[in-house]
Amino acid sequence: MYISGKHMSRRTMLRGMGATVALPLLDAMIPAGRLGDRTRREMDKTRLVCIEEVHGAAGCNEWGAEQGLFAPATVGKDFELEPLNVLYPLRKWQDYITIISNTDARMAEAFNSEEIGGDHFRSTAVFLTQSHPRQTQGSDVYCGVSLDQLYARRYGQDTALPSLQLCIERLDQAGGCWYNYHCAYTDSISWASPTEPLPMIQDPRAAFDLLFGSGGSNAERTIRRRTNRSILDWVAAEVGMLKRELGYEDRQRIDGYLQNIREVERRIERVENYSTSGELRELPEAPSGVPDSFSEHMKLMFDLQVLAMEMDMTRVISFKTGRDASSRMFPESGSSTPFHSASHHGGNEESVLDFNKICQYRMSMLDYFLERLENTTEGDSNLLEKSVVLWGSPMGDSNLHNHRRCPLVLFGKGSGALEGNLHLKAPDGTPMANAFLTLLRDLGFDDLSSFGDSTGEFALAYSTPLTTDGKSS
């Protein structure tokens, strides 16, 4: 622990037997004068979370679009989310929602005859790079630099983790995938360079240990778990000393923060205990820290993301919530059809609606995340106000393996970069990369002139249409 003069360093750490616990922003960390101004500037750094949906959305099918299953009928402010809209479960967050409809991810399309049919094995790599992957099963993979990694280069270098990559489904199929594509293209949405896809973490335990350094070695981790001790036990003495230096509100903040850490730790322990109990598992191949329940896994990963941002361990997160061509089933959605099979609905209206049940259920998981962000205060604001959560898919109508009119939504206010309560419809043929370029520029990349296959910018603010006399309507 390190306290400098009359204020505490923003990078204060609690340490003990390999455990390292960073702290949330406290009043004691904000000194007066110019040092305080610098701390406030650090507080205002926008967090970026990028979430990929692998199979497009039912609302991107021609009939589904007519029913408003993704894009609302109203363009502009105050759109209405009908009960069948994929975003309906998030309707209470409308003031924090920016829908961008009708953009294309054409870099995921086949460029020659050898690539035809390989859409599922290109798409993930295209999502955040908007670049066309080189078809290869060798080590000479090549795509582009992803949006999250551009952001991490500029705004993540003064945090312990410049970026964090997480996933839900197993992504460890080494070597070649189908249609002569390396599995690296399917396994990661984050590319540090055109030749460097970044690994993604599926196991909440692995993510927890990464964030909290819970045991500097396998031996230390084994000792802690055998004695059934929390990482907080190892730093208890430092917590006590720290709290004696803090005011009442900071002590309350510390108590709540540590309680959240312990609750996440307990939930991971419960999952591990069940997984190693000999009971039949739905996901027998998954690590012991991975819940069989999709919703439980999602909530754990969201909680870990919020903790990571709250203690400023990272400001950049990518999250892959499924694997292309996944046959996982989601009975909680009301559909008994495997995910991939449901996405190939054949244009049949009943089947499109069945697929929409799965899409809507998966989207509903974000309600938990958005609420956690809103309830996490930082200074005089909260993480939902200070974040951009980018959700989208490089597929549109997955029944056709179509990469046109793909779904894209931004959540949060991005420290003022986004208005919210807004539906923006792009002109036909607009690359998704145009929206990404504008987002990056709105987040401070004034020197960036292009991204992926962008052809220009796409404004993320609403312009009131003009009447024939040139006045606002």
Residue 174: the pLDDT is 47
pLDDT in tens, 88-130: 999 999 999 999 999 999 999 999 999 999 999 999 999 999 9
**Cross-strand partners of 7:** 4
Q: What is the dihedral of CA 137, 139, 140, 144, to 10 degrees?
A: 90
pLDDT in tens, 306-342: 999 999 999 999 999 999 999 999 999 999 999 999 9
CATH of segment(s) 47-202+291-460? 3.40.720
C-beta atoms surrounding 455 within 10 Å: 12
Q: Which spans in 245-290 are helix H? A: 248-275
Residue 469: the pLDDT is 40
pTM: 0.93
Write a three-state SS string for 376-390: CEECCEECCCCEEEE
Residue 12: the pLDDT is 84
**For tokens 């990963």, what's the residue?**
301
Which among 260, 330, 328 has a CA at the least distance from the CA of 295? 330
Q: Which token pair is 262?
A: 């312990």
Residue 143: the pLDDT is 98
Q: Where are the domains of the chain?
A: 1-43+204-289, 47-202+291-460
Which among 163, 126, 168, 132 has a CA at the least distance from the CA of 148? 163
Which one-letter amino acid corresponds to residue 393?
Answer: S
pLDDT in tens, 198-219: 999 999 999 999 999 765 566 6
The one-digit pLDDT tens for each residue of the chain (473 residues) are 434 445 688 888 888 767 889 999 998 888 765 544 555 555 668 999 999 999 999 999 999 999 999 999 999 999 999 999 999 999 999 999 999 999 999 999 999 999 999 999 999 999 999 999 999 999 999 999 999 999 999 999 999 999 999 999 987 654 457 899 999 999 999 999 999 999 999 999 999 999 997 655 666 656 666 666 788 888 888 899 899 989 999 999 999 999 999 999 999 999 999 999 999 998 988 999 999 999 999 999 999 999 999 999 999 999 999 999 999 999 999 999 999 999 999 999 999 999 999 999 999 999 999 999 999 999 889 999 999 999 999 999 999 999 999 999 999 999 999 999 999 999 999 999 999 999 999 999 999 999 999 999 999 998 654 333 434 33
Residue 34's alpha-carbon distances to 29, 31, 399, 414, in angstroms, are: 13, 8, 57, 24
C-alpha 42/C-alpha 253 separation (Å) is 19
C-alpha 196/C-alpha 140 separation (Å) is 10
Residue 38: the pLDDT is 56
Q: Report yes or no: 385 and 413 within 8 Å, Cβ to Cβ.
A: yes
